Structure 1
């Protein structure tokens, strides 16, 4: 199985309601079942800590919460207990979080990674409705550098980061052990 990177379609761009303009939006196609560990490797290669993750609590049980606590990951859950927001600050914390994100994606649930300046856990909770774009109503978009939407078909990268704001630049951060489907890439 291989990875491909494309410029995103307008429908994908409109799937998240932004209060910030001029974001580059790229789609990275990958099957997490076939490429276990891919997400951990690309996030680790691309970003510095701290990183923030928004996970659905749908598949989280008490054992998962205990693992989060054992690794000393700062987290909060929203009032409805639908979302868990984690602040990841180490390789061990990232590895556990990526395992959850890949598992959730393989089961049809979305997760989000957010990189930014002076972000607070409480402002990262999304509002998701089936007939509206995803919204982060309390998020100050001026603080956001990159938001990655992780789902069953791969990643959608919304970014202002000049290091990864084109298909060619993002390609440089994909670990070399993964095959790139150049035929289906926008390069």
Structure 2
């Protein structure tokens, strides 16, 4: 019998929350920790949580694979720096492709953010990143954001105002059944 990869779900600690300039009182912050985050983890999570459109903010070069997908599929995107892109995703196959690219970037230590909400535009999602300051989205009206996810090599942090995702127990229902919950290390 193959062992499932375990993950834990906890309320985020202050260091994670303070990594961003956001209105903290309106968002619940949940951390999902996993060893070796993969597309088979991120894709079902995002697909189960959101409807389209979904916006991916890729702070750094998305490699040639990403650029060719954008070009071949005529995907709406916004280039915001010499190598950063914001992609508006409106189909399952494009979502899967960018979840795959996001995992590659995260495993290389590059920031990836996923946004869902009403009335969001690519230009509003440009991050201001300075090494010694919290990440800020200066043009973003956070009243339009329902949920955003920070993807890293050790899991994700979900910032949400949606009651479906406002506790570790609730978030665990959106994670693929091919993973198992580490109950001992989770806030349930």
TM-score higher than 0.5 here?
A: yes
Distance in 1 between residues matched to 2:140 and 2:9, nearest whole Å: 27
SS in 2 for 1:175: coil
Q: CA deviation at 1:36?
A: 4.2
Q: Which residue of 2 aligns with 1:181?
A: 182
**Number of aligned pairs?**
184
Partner Cα separation in structure 2 for residue 10 and residue 20 of structure 1: 11
Q: What's 2:142 paired with?
A: 141
Distance in 2 of aligned mates of 1:135 and 1:142? 15
* Higher share of residues assigned helix: 2
2:69 to 54, 67, 71: 67
Does structure 2 conserve the Cα–Cα contact (< 8 Å) formed by 1:30 and 1:153?
yes
- Asked if the contact 1:71/1:92 (under 8 Å) is kept, the reply is no
Greater displacement, 121-130 / 80-89: 80-89
| Aligned 8 A contact 1:30 1:154 in 2 | yes
- Are the aligned partners of 2:118 and 2:145 in contact in 1 as well (CA < 8 Å)? yes
TM-score (norm 1): 0.93
The alignment's TM-score, normalised by the length of structure 2, stands at 0.92
CA distance in 1 between partners of 2:159 and 2:62 (Å)? 25
Gaps of 5+ in 2: none
Helix, strand or coil: the match of 2:181?
coil
Correspondence for 1:93: 94
Aligned equivalent of 2:83 = 82
- Equivalent residue number for residue 8 of structure 1: 12
Hey, what does 1:172 align to over in structure 2? 173
User: What do the CA deviations read for 1:35-64 (whole angstroms, capped 9, x no partner)?
Assistant: 442101111111111100101233423x43
1:105-120 matched pairs, under 5 angstroms: 105-120=106-121
CA distance in 1: counterparts of 2:99 and 2:33, whole angstroms = 17
Q: Matched residues in 2 for 1:121 and 1:26: separation?
A: 25
Q: Deviations over 1:54-97 (max 9, x none)?
A: 01233423x4312122223210101x323200000000110110
C-alpha contact (below 8 Å) 1:32/1:38 kept by paired residues: no
CA contact (8 A) 1:56 1:111 kept: yes
What is the aligned-residue RMSD (CA, Å)?
A: 1.4
Alpha-carbon distance in structure 2 between the residues aligned to 1:131 and 1:152: 20
Unaligned runs of 5+ in 1: none
- 1:59/1:48 CA distance change after superposition, 3 Å: closer
| 1:20-31 map, 5 Å | 21-31=25-35
